[in-house]
Amino acid sequence: MQLIKFTLYYLAYCLILAGIAYLLQNQLADVKILAKGFWLVFGFLGGITFIAYTVADLGIKRNPETGIM
């Protein structure tokens, strides 16, 4: 999969997940659903996942035998 295609799909996926979390947070305002630092953790894990995929993709393109080592 090309990096641009992955980026678009990944951003769409993250936006859908964030939208669901946001809607649940607003619809059930009297119930605490999300942890205090949820959005920070969500953004951090999303960023780390994107960086890992990008580095793995670049490593596989340069030398497929060693890949991401």
**Which domain covers residue 43, as residue numbers?**
3-62
**Does 67 map to a domain?**
no
- Average of per-residue pLDDT across 28-41: 89
What predicted TM-score, i.e. pTM, was given to this entire model? 0.78
**Does 69 map to a domain?**
no
Angle between helices 38-62 and 3-27 (to 10 degrees): 170
Judged by phi (left if over 0) then psi (alpha if -120 to 50, else beta), residue 67 lies in left
Percent of the chain residues topping a pLDDT of 90: 58
**Does 29 map to a domain?**
yes
- Average of per-residue pLDDT across 39-66: 89
Give the C-alpha separation, 31 to 1, whole Å: 41
Give the C-alpha separation, 67 to 69, whole Å: 6
**Does 25 map to a domain?**
yes
Place 67 in a pLDDT band, splitting at 50, 70 and 90: low
Give the count of domains, the chain: 1
**Does 20 map to a domain?**
yes
**Does 34 map to a domain?**
yes
Of the spans 32-36, 51-55, 61-65, which averages the highest pLDDT? Answer: 51-55
**Does 68 map to a domain?**
no
